[in-house]
Amino acid sequence: MDSSKYEERWERYLAKTHENVRQTLEKYIESKNQIKLLDVSTGSGKLHEYLAKSNLNLSEAAFNDPDKEMLSKGRKQVIRDALDCETTFYHEDVADLHKIQQEFDIIISQNAYHLYLDKQASFETMKALTHNKSLLLVMDWNNKGWFKPVYQAIKLFDTKPLSAESHSQVKTRASHNQFRPISCKTWRWKWWKFFTIVLTPNHPD
C-alpha cells in the first residue's frame, strides 16, 4: 500500500496504538538512563512523534522495516522529528536482523507480529539483540474470542499473508525462547482486539 494512503486510512488506529506503546514504555523506563532503541517494524515512523512526548532519553535509535516504501516514509518522518541521538535505518525481515550484531535496551514490535511468518526465527533474532536488562514490547492483534471472525474477514481482503496469534500463544512462544513476561494487557478499540506484552530475556550467566 502507498505509505501516504496507509497513514491517512489508519490515522486513528495508529494514534491509539502509538499512544498505548508510549504509555506502556513510560511505566518501565527511567528518564536518566541513556537508551538504545530498536523499532523492528517502523512503518510510517509516526510512533516517534509519540515517543518524543515520553521520558525516553535516547542515545541511539535504529529503525527497520521490510517494506522499502514504508521505510522511506519512516526515514523522512524520523528526520523531521529531529531525534537528538544517533539514528540508523535497516531494510530487513525481522528474522534477519541478527546481522546488526548489537544489543539494545528496548526493542519495539508494534502492529506487525501478525506479519511475521517465521515467528520462531523472529523471536530468536530479537533475543540475540538483547541483554539481561533489555525490554521487548510486542503490541499486536489479539486473535481470540469475538475477534477471530473479524480476523478471518481481514485475511480475505488483505494481499499479505497473515499469521495472528492470541496473547496466550505469544506468551507461550516467548517463554520457549527464554523471554519472561513482565506485563500483559489485553484491550480493545472499536472492532479491534489487541494485546500489549512487555518481556525481558533470560540470558545465561
CA distances from 114 to 2, 77, 84, 162 (A): 20, 24, 31, 6
Round the average pLDDT of the chain to a whole number and report it.
88
At 97-149, the pLDDT tens digits run: 988 889 999 999 999 999 998 999 999 999 999 999 999 999 999 999 999 99
pLDDT digits (tens, 9 = 90+) for 64-83: 998 888 888 877 777 666 66
> How do 192-201 and 179-189 pair as beta strands?
antiparallel
Q: Is the pLDDT of residue 156 over 80?
A: yes
Q: The cell 540470558 sits on which residue?
A: 203
> Is pLDDT larger for residue 53 or for residue 112?
112
| C-alpha to C-alpha distances, 163 to 116, 149, 151, 153, nearest whole angstrom | 7, 14, 10, 13
* Residue predicted with more confidence, 139 or 85: 139
Question: Average pLDDT of 174-193?
Answer: 96
Tens of pLDDT, residue by residue over 3-15, are: 455 556 678 999 9
According to DSSP, residue 191 is labeled T
pLDDT at 51: 78
Predicted model pTM:
0.91
The mean per-residue pLDDT over the stretch 184-191 comes to: 96
pLDDT tens digits, one per residue of 13-32: 999 999 999 999 988 887 65
Q: How confident is the model at residue 204 (pLDDT cuts 50, 70, 90)?
A: confident
User: Are 99 and 64 in contact, with CB atoms under 8 Å apart?
Assistant: no
C-beta atoms surrounding 129 within 10 Å: 21
Per-residue pLDDT, 24: 93
pLDDT of the residue at 101:
87
Identify the pLDDT of residue 1. 47
Higher pLDDT, 48 or 61: 61
